[in-house]
Structure 1
């Protein structure tokens, strides 16, 4: 009797696993049909031949470990896991070890590639230190392992992710790259998001911005450091980098200047910010040519961290990666490489651990009050930060402009 009972329990435990395996097998069949019926006609229309297509997907199956997947027949959910560090606690992004490593290697690269960087800067107007900052962040100057099969990643996400149309377009672009023979051998490796090579270009960006930096007639972002640097600079130049302007300056913001003034849509001449009492932490005045130009208040952790006046070039850096912290890291590392700058004078405060779902709930509450938070995506961008500050001020509180766990309950009342 006991033996029969145990056998029954084991059978019950196995059944869901078997059912899940059958579901996945069925979805794999749907994936292969999607490749043949949807992807192949689009690829063929872009000049991809069948041999290239078949080689790309030989042995490729769905990668079930990727984030933000929505398998057929399952509802979309807001993820709790924060897979990108850009959207974690700000202090973690600027860990001392990361900054030291990026700076030390960047200085070595600045010396090694001085002639190339100077040539690239003359051609594009983008300073070499900025190129190095991006290169270091994206692939540790080409030293980082890029582990994934690009066709598996882009195929999986094109077939069943929260942004399936976008990744399907990128998959077609990756097939065009393979058809043209740009990538050497088996180099079509990518990040978990499908980004390629040392500058971590999405495939469509490779087709638009990859540049030949060493004059060999090829754009090789996998093996050529010169091509990598030229491609990064070309991307920034074509996205509007303003030659002669900096990316920004760390500042002190007096209490009477509200953190709700943050954002690229609330810009004013830097001279006007200075007249409001905002000063560079270095004690030096803003350069004369910068004072005439437009600047924007940036407080990525609200009153819990350093503050900055940034220029339009900061938002060009954000075009490379839509994160305030990413753009700030790149500019900061570039300054450390070229000017020997130290750590930020302002200190990152503790804001507690929060999941994206917590912030999304807060955003939905603010939207219900009429605030423009930029969408309930669980990411505390500048619109969310200043909306929090405006809610705090309307509630008679001092504005801090950054989410905390306690606010989730206060906003849901």
Structure 2
């Protein structure tokens, strides 16, 4: 299949320019036919008015610059590897990114204090967390979100790798337009189809977007109050526990295994403390947290800061399924509200690795019976602790993080 896809790409590259233009023109014609014969009937069954549909797709053509496209009738193109090199966790927390998110976040906290207080009172989600997500997703509304949502979603629904998923998202976007949440010309998305300042997929908009200023719309493109209320509603409906923190930076005793990481290996925070886990600040864990579950989280294994996180950390991961994303949000939120500085423990300098090398390591561990959570070249907590368990079983010092030398050792 890969060879066929490569051959197709080569044929297209070698095709005379008039023929290439003609080929694209044929696909564009197929797209216009698909809008009429396939998408419109589905939209009509979902209650979309013809005027709404025609307005959304008037003048819309395919966006050929999007990744993972397979024109109808051609072979499915394998998903592109857009991150061939794995970035060490430290690269997620650059000085410029942290300082900018913090300083602008404090400005936004003052400027939108009323909307933030209203959202926090309604949902229990702290203002600092709302701000940190807003900052990460769209730089507090300052980032350009330039794409025509219907062009992006339509292209992905017609010839994207996940076409069925995006057909449903197109219908959701049409419902948003029909309800008048986004006036004409304001329906903008990312290149993945995520909408507005909170970067909601259309289906999530329908579930969580909230009118924060009382005008009857949830305008997450132009209204800061609606954006704030919508982020808070999303987290609340995903289980944010009012009054609890997201987590704490901690120091681990050398004897405590880094392979104890993960949301399925929780224990009461007071029990972690009994094992010698302490806060790097020197302060005790808050008394209300003592009898609640905490979970060890080591984004760089023994090569960086360690954290004891709460269930709220995993609510942040529901917004974006990345340990580093959730950690960034919690950390920036603390910096905004409390003036917290950098993590007390430094990140080790680690050599760069290709995702393909990490995938080799994951497959080797899987062959030994370890659960790495897949072989995608991204070292999530299952991969990290599998490395640690293998290291412990083979008499090595457990570090729970991939390195070039470990790839070689596992390849033997």
Going from structure 1 to structure 2, the CA distance change for 1:13 and 1:159 (only over 3 Å counts) comes to closer
- Other-structure match for 1:47: 47
Give CA deviations for 1:112-158 in whole Å, capped at 9, x if unaligned.
Answer: 22222112111101111111111111111111101211112212222
TM-score by length of 1: 0.91
Specify the SS of the correspondent of 1:370. Answer: coil
Going from structure 1 to structure 2, the CA distance change for 1:44 and 1:352 (only over 3 Å counts) comes to farther
Matches within 5 A, 1:51-70: 51-70=51-70
Quote the Cα distance in structure 1 between the aligned partners of 2:281 and 2:121.
29
Conserved? CA contact 1:351–1:403, under 8 Å: no
Matches within 5 A, 1:3-402: 15=15, 20-72=20-72, 73-77=74-78, 79-82=80-83, 88-402=87-401
Quote the Cα distance in structure 1 between the aligned partners of 2:267 and 2:203.
34
Q: Following TM superposition, by how much is the alpha carbon of 1:351 offset from its aligned partner in structure 2, in angstroms?
A: 2.9
Specify the SS of the correspondent of 1:292. Answer: coil
Conserved? CA contact 2:188–2:221, under 8 Å: no
Quote the Cα distance in structure 2 between the aligned partners of 1:45 and 1:347.
56
Specify the SS of the correspondent of 1:235. Answer: helix
Conserved? CA contact 2:76–2:161, under 8 Å: no
Quote the Cα distance in structure 1 between the aligned partners of 2:407 and 2:24.
37
What's the Cα RMSD here? 2.2
Q: Following TM superposition, by how much is the alpha carbon of 1:76 offset from its aligned partner in structure 2, in angstroms?
A: 4.4
Going from structure 1 to structure 2, the CA distance change for 1:34 and 1:225 (only over 3 Å counts) comes to same
Q: Following TM superposition, by how much is the alpha carbon of 1:18 offset from its aligned partner in structure 2, in angstroms?
A: 5.5
- Other-structure match for 2:7: none
Name which of structure 1's ranges 21-30 and 225-234 shifts more when overlaid on structure 2.
21-30
Q: Following TM superposition, by how much is the alpha carbon of 1:90 offset from its aligned partner in structure 2, in angstroms?
A: 1.2
Give CA deviations for 1:248-294 in whole Å, capped at 9, x if unaligned.
Answer: 00011122111111110111001111111111110001011111100
Conserved? CA contact 1:248–1:310, under 8 Å: yes
Conserved? CA contact 1:79–1:357, under 8 Å: no
Quote the Cα distance in structure 2 between the aligned partners of 1:149 and 1:169.
17
Quote the Cα distance in structure 2 between the aligned partners of 1:70 and 1:263.
37
Specify the SS of the correspondent of 2:308. Answer: strand
Conserved? CA contact 1:374–1:384, under 8 Å: yes
TM-score by length of 2: 0.91
- Other-structure match for 2:4: none
Quote the Cα distance in structure 1 between the aligned partners of 2:151 and 2:100.
31
Quote the Cα distance in structure 2 between the aligned partners of 1:15 and 1:110.
56
Quote the Cα distance in structure 1 between the aligned partners of 2:391 and 2:363.
16
Q: Following TM superposition, by how much is the alpha carbon of 1:161 offset from its aligned partner in structure 2, in angstroms?
A: 3.0
Going from structure 1 to structure 2, the CA distance change for 1:88 and 1:48 (only over 3 Å counts) comes to farther
Quote the Cα distance in structure 2 between the aligned partners of 1:293 and 1:349.
31
Count of residue pairs the alignment pairs up:
400
Q: Following TM superposition, by how much is the alpha carbon of 1:396 offset from its aligned partner in structure 2, in angstroms?
A: 2.2
Q: Any gaps of 5 or more consecutive residues in structure 1?
A: 1-11
- Other-structure match for 2:402: 403
Q: Following TM superposition, by how much is the alpha carbon of 1:395 offset from its aligned partner in structure 2, in angstroms?
A: 2.5
Q: Any gaps of 5 or more consecutive residues in structure 2?
A: 1-11
Give CA deviations for 1:369-410 in whole Å, capped at 9, x if unaligned.
Answer: 221112222322111111122222223222221222343343
Going from structure 1 to structure 2, the CA distance change for 1:78 and 1:46 (only over 3 Å counts) comes to closer
Going from structure 1 to structure 2, the CA distance change for 1:403 and 1:39 (only over 3 Å counts) comes to farther
Quote the Cα distance in structure 2 between the aligned partners of 1:75 and 1:394.
42
Specify the SS of the correspondent of 2:54. Answer: helix
Conserved? CA contact 1:305–1:346, under 8 Å: yes
Name which of structure 1's ranges 157-166 and 17-26 shifts more when overlaid on structure 2.
17-26
Quote the Cα distance in structure 1 between the aligned partners of 2:182 and 2:22.
36
